[in-house]
Amino acid sequence: MAEKRKGRTGGRKASVNSEVNSEVKPALPSPTTPSNGARDDARTEAPRPAPRTPGMVWMERMREFRGRRERDLTLGIQLGKLEREFRDRQREVGDLVDVWLEVAPPRLREIVSIGGLSQGTLTLVTASSAAGFEASRALREGLERTLMSRFPARVRRVKVKVGGDGA
């Protein structure tokens, strides 16, 4: 005969040999193994974005101004700076270079370059002390007077620097 017992049924009486206990319920599909293609597509589909409220629109606009910016890794900024530096240097000493190439002896043009002009002092840069000595000697022999006469308002003194950048 059938026994009556109280178990997981929460107080309901069920027989051990009843048809209810012999039924097998189908297992639910697991999230890792899709049961059919339609469900699989539904799982991989991206969730719909929330509607954009005015507050969200404002936050997105503010991120442009307040957020961290990506570093510009292009050469545009560096090339712009270099171009500006060359333009400023050309404006500063461009005509001096032309006159230097015109009045300096050919041997001196090869070993001496113009370093800059600052507060009326024209700086000539040489690679070695021997070249500096040659430049000083040429300046004493009249090259300094010639340069100062061509640019009376800009050049008041000529200085020779040994071992600088450029020569």
pLDDT of residue 22: 52
Model confidence band, residue 76 (pLDDT cutoffs 50, 70, 90): confident
User: What is the pTM (predicted TM-score) of this model?
Assistant: 0.50
pLDDT of residue 65: 80
Fold of 78-162: GMP Synthetase; Chain A, domain 3 (3.30.300)
d(CA 61, CA 101): 57
Amino acid at 99: V
Q: Which residues of 60-79 are buried (b: 16+ CB within 10 A; e: fewer)?
A: eeeeeeeeeeeeeeeeeeee
Strand partners, 4: 15
Quick: pLDDT tens for 28-57: 555 555 555 555 555 667 777 777 888 888
